[in-house]
């Protein structure tokens, strides 16, 4: 007898009690499509000599298929990589104030471009421009979808077909092979490099300015937030560049990249230039990110002279690069926290994670070590608490490391493959645990594990044996 004749029909499987709950949860169309996919794959396998699976096995495959199909792609994870602002993991986690603001804005109509006081049309930048001006000392501000867009928009508005003078040592490349010279070219500006990789002087800028002023659009400084040059170096102070630009009636622009609105040194972190410092030094425009050191949602922020911001906002590209109400709601809530710098390290998630004391993290590791050891029981590995060095991430303060603690899982003997298996098992958990394999060990840095997440993390680790067993079954 042809074994395929024993294969149940689509209708037969759909009528079972096992799939009724799936249909109720996800809809008939999704389950029906998955049933057809499973039956088609089974027919192919049987024709190639595989034994016909039982109906129970087929239903289990359908259930697994529906679960996988309906699993969100944007899933929460435990970030134990040791990189706080991890670009691939969404950079800055938002503080609870921003989360609640997001929910409120998503749930109801809100005054995005409506002036409640006058009853007329408003400007969506009005949600945050007052806060930005208050916190930076700028005359005006505007917001786009990321800092690269902010730089592009200002260049396209103020420097199209004109020269932008930049030190050769500041022609940076950020993630995804995104380079300053490329964005200048796309924006229609003409890059003029001055100085050398390690040393640039004021006279280099002065000599590059067009004598008549017609071809030069601006002087620009790009903060090298994702690398550092040491040794025989020289960079022109911002105040001197601003004075030179203003003598020639040119704007002086600073791209701060990752950016922060607070002096991080006040929290025991390395100092990072702030927009307020740039404005005080004479910058006419400053751009920076909202989602890196600032600790908010992805956004590009422009602050500076009112006349220049007005020109930028009139560029038709501004509409293409604008942000929506959810970004503005989260950004407003995060910016408001900066009004209280004394408690910023307690309320802003990014600053809190960056400033966690090593002793606190080590104590957390001590509480969780028995849970990890129980999850790894029976495997040829050892797990121990170790001192680690976290990094800030997202191109921010690249040479600085933060003393931290966590776990090192090491194979017994030469069984290095077991680490890959455990790492994959951790990623297969309902809430994936993301660590890193380095120097022959699987490292799990606990810096970013919030105290409120400890119970959830322990429960996740308890599911590791089942995840590893599932790997073997697959």
What DSSP letter does each residue of 317-354 carry, written as one string?
Answer: HHHHH---HHHHHHHHHHHHHTT-GGGHHHH-HHHHHH
Domain 96-345 bears CATH identifier 3.40.640.10? yes
Whole-number Å distance between alpha carbons of 429 and 34: 23
Q: What are phi and psi of 44, to 5 degrees?
A: -60, -45
Helices 325-337 and 96-107, axial angle in degrees (round to 10): 150
CATH class for the domain made up of 78-88+353-473: alpha beta
Alpha carbon distance, N-terminus to C-terminus of the chain? 29
pLDDT at residue number 176: 56
Sign of the CA dihedral 410, 414, 420, 426? negative
**What token pair was written down for 361?**
């993290």
Query: Pick from 228, 269, 242: which is nearest to 395 by CA?
Result: 228
pLDDT at residue number 294: 94
pLDDT at residue number 171: 80
Q: Which residues pair with 174 in a beta bridge?
A: 178
Domain spans in the chain, listed from the N-terminal domain onward: 6-70, 78-88+353-473, 96-345
pLDDT at residue number 452: 94
pLDDT at residue number 196: 85
Question: Do 148 and 176 meet the contact criterion of CB atoms below 8 Å apart?
Answer: no
What single DSSP character describes residue 53?
A: P
In order along its 474 residues, the chain shows pLDDT tens digits of 677 778 999 999 999 999 999 999 999 999 999 999 999 999 999 888 888 899 999 999 999 999 999 999 999 999 999 999 999 999 999 999 999 999 999 999 999 999 999 999 999 999 999 999 999 999 999 999 999 999 999 999 999 999 999 998 888 776 555 678 888 889 999 999 998 888 889 999 999 998 766 799 999 999 875 566 766 778 889 999 999 999 999 999 999 988 899 998 888 888 889 999 999 999 999 999 999 999 999 999 999 999 999 999 999 999 999 999 999 999 999 999 999 999 999 999 999 999 999 999 999 999 999 999 999 999 999 999 999 999 998 665 555 689 999 999 999 877 668 999 999 999 999 999 999 999 999 999 999 999 999 999 999 999 999 988 877 655
């Amino acid at each position: 007898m042809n074994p395929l004749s024993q294969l149940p029909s689509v209708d037969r499987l759909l009528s079972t009690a096992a799939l009724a709950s799936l249909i109720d949860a996800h809809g008939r169309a999704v389950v029906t499509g998955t049933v057809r996919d499973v039956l088609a794959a089974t027919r192919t396998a049987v024709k190639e000599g595989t034994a016909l699976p039982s109906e129970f096995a087929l239903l289990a495959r359908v259930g697994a298929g529906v679960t996988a199909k309906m699993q969100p792609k944007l899933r929460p994870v435990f970030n134990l990589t040791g990189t706080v602002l991890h670009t691939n993991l969404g950079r800055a986690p938002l503080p609870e104030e921003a989360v609640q603001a997001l929910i409120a804005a998503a749930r109801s109509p809100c005054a995005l471009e409506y002036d409640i006081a006058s009853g007329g049309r408003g400007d969506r930048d009005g949600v945050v421009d007052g806060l930005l001006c208050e916190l930076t000392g700028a005359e005006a501000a505007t917001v786009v979808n990321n800092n690269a867009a902010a730089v592009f928009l200002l260049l396209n508005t103020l420097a199209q077909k004109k020269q932008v003078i930049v030190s050769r040592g500041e022609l940076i490349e950020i993630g995804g092979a995104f380079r300053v010279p490329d964005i200048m070219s796309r924006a229609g500006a003409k890059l003029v490099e001055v100085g050398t990789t390690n040393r640039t002087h004021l006279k280099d800028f002065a000599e590059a300015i067009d004598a008549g002023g017609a071809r030069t659009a601006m002087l620009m400084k790009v903060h090298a937030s994702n690398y550092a040059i040491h040794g025989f170096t020289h960079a022109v102070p911002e105040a001197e560049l601003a004075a030179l630009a203003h003598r020639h009636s040119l704007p002086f622009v600073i791209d701060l990249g990752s950016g922060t609105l607070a002096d991080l040194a006040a929290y025991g972190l390395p100092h990072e230039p702030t927009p307020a410092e740039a404005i005080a030094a004479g910058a006419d425009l400053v751009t920076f990110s909202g989602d890196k050191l600032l600790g908010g949602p992805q956004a590009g922020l422009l602050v500076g002279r009112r006349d220049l911001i007005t020109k930028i906002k009139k560029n038709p590209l501004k509409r293409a690069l604008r942000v929506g109400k959810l970004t503005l709601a989260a950004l407003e809530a995060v910016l408001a926290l900066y009004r209280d710098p004394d408690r910023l390290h307690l309320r802003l998630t990014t600053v809190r994670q960056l400033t966690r004391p090593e002793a606190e993290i080590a104590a957390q590791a001590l509480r969780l070590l028995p849970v990890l050891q129980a999850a790894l029981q029976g495997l040829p590995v050892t797990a121990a608490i170790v001192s680690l060095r976290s990094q800030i991430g997202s191109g921010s303060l690249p040479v600085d490391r933060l003393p931290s603690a966590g776990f090192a899982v090491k194979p017994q003997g030469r069984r290095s493959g077991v680490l890959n298996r455990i790492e994959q098992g951790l990623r297969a958990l309902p809430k994936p645990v993301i660590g890193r394999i380095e120097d022959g060990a699987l490292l799990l840095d606990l810096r970013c594990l919030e105290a409120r997440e400890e119970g959830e993390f322990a429960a996740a680790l308890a599911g590791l044996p089942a995840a590893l067993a599932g790997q073997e079954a697959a």
